Chain A
Amino acid sequence: MSDVNRPDPSDARQVVLALADDELCVGQNLAWWIAVGPFLEEDLALTSISQDELGHARALYGLLGDDIDALAYGRQPHEYRSAHLTELPCRDWGETLVRHFLYDTAESIRWQAFADSSWEALGAVARRALAEERSHLRHASGLLSRLLRTESGCSQLLPLFDQFAPMACELFDVPSGCSSDDLVAGGVMSSPLGDQRAEWQATVDEALAQVGYQPKWPDHKELGSPASGRDGQRSPHFATLHAEMVEVLTIDPSAVW
């Protein structure tokens, strides 16, 4: 392989950082459901998934440096790379479920693309995470398909897909300056993000086809284009989320578990 085709290692690191930040935000947001889930099993499910996602964030940050807490909590807001979908608070269970479905279907596809990565440690984390992800997906799609068999499920959940599916496309964006094609050429990822996104959209479409629904996907959004979240612009919800995450560290910077 010529050096021209080698991915810049910092590109791979940027993409891993973006993924880690997604996981951190989703994990933290889902933790809100502790003790207030709509029923006991759902309470346990959402908070177990929250723990898993935080664990995935930790494993990904661990690929980037030794001081995981500094990476997770010590950066300035503009240094985070999370997609805006992941920063949204989860206060409504319907919204939580739709976003959980969109996120975890996307995540499974992203992890799969890293499973045989030339960055071996990343491949190992991806394979490990994939084993855990299947139960997340089964939870999201099982609940969704059962609820979509009811009239009130359809009327409450389907409009949420129009609200969140376009936003979720950002999960397949990379920070500007990173090249998805270079990462594929260097073996870091097995397929370009554009292809991953197409596969994900087809999965979402298929899940909604049972009720004859087609989400309103954005028409001409350029694949892999620089998006605001990936380039450091935070959504309005990030400040509250971040303050909650660093609350203990702010009171006592030397606090340990």
Chain B
Amino acid sequence: MEAAVLEAAVFDAVSSVCDPEYPDVTIAELGILESVSMADNGSVVRIELVPTMLGCPALDVIRRDVAAAAQSACVGAKARIEVVFVADPVWTPDRIAPSAVAFMAREYSVAVRSALTDATCPICGNAALEHRSDFGPTPCRSVEWCPNCRNPIEVVGRVDIAVSA
């Protein structure tokens, strides 16, 4: 298979891998997928991923799922697959696609706070959420409070990570 074709096939395959925490949101939509490229004269397909947090416990699962998806796109090709998490660029919630922000609010009641998106209450739409704690149910989610519908709200992105783009 020609290198460019293989690269495109792998990109398509890994783009549809879903995040274990949000099983119908893809790693491409979440901004975890950074790049797919051919290395070492076409003998290696290198897939770079950006961890949401360095300590995210799902990294190994994501790596495994990505490798499996890439493998399925490489059937018949001789290229070796390399999946790496890179520390640069720094992941921020800005990397989440707007369509995924809306989907996560609707399906998971999770808000996203980034430099691009002001977090709004996924339940009532109120935009004036109050910060409660940097630490929530997962390392990438903090806890805010909606004074309008009086619900605690999970927000993707700790305050600093959201603004440190």
Contacts and interface: CB of A to CB of B under 8 A. Distances in A.
Contacts of A128: 54, 87-88, 90
Contact of A124 (B60, B87, B137, B161): B87
A41 B135 contact: yes
Contacts of B86: 124
A132 B53 contact: yes
A51 B57 contact: yes
A12 interface: no
Interface in B126-165: 132-137, 139, 143, 158-161, 164
Contacts of B51: 55
A216 B86 CA distance: 42
A59 B132 CA distance: 29
A170 to B, nearest CB: 24
B55 A124 contact: no
A138 B55 contact: no
Nearest to B132: A41
Nearest to B57: A51
A45 B60 CA distance: 23
A135 B55 contact: no
Interface in B101-134: 132-134
A45 B134 contact: yes
A2 B56 CA distance: 42
A131 B90 contact: yes
Contact of A131 (B56, B137, B164): B164
Interface of B: 51, 53-57, 60, 86-88, 90, 132-137, 139, 143, 158-161, 164
Given A59-B54, A138-B160, 13 more contacts: A41-B132, A41-B135, A44-B135, A49-B135, A53-B55, A56-B54, A127-B90, A128-B88, A132-B53, A134-B164, A139-B134, A139-B135, A257-B60
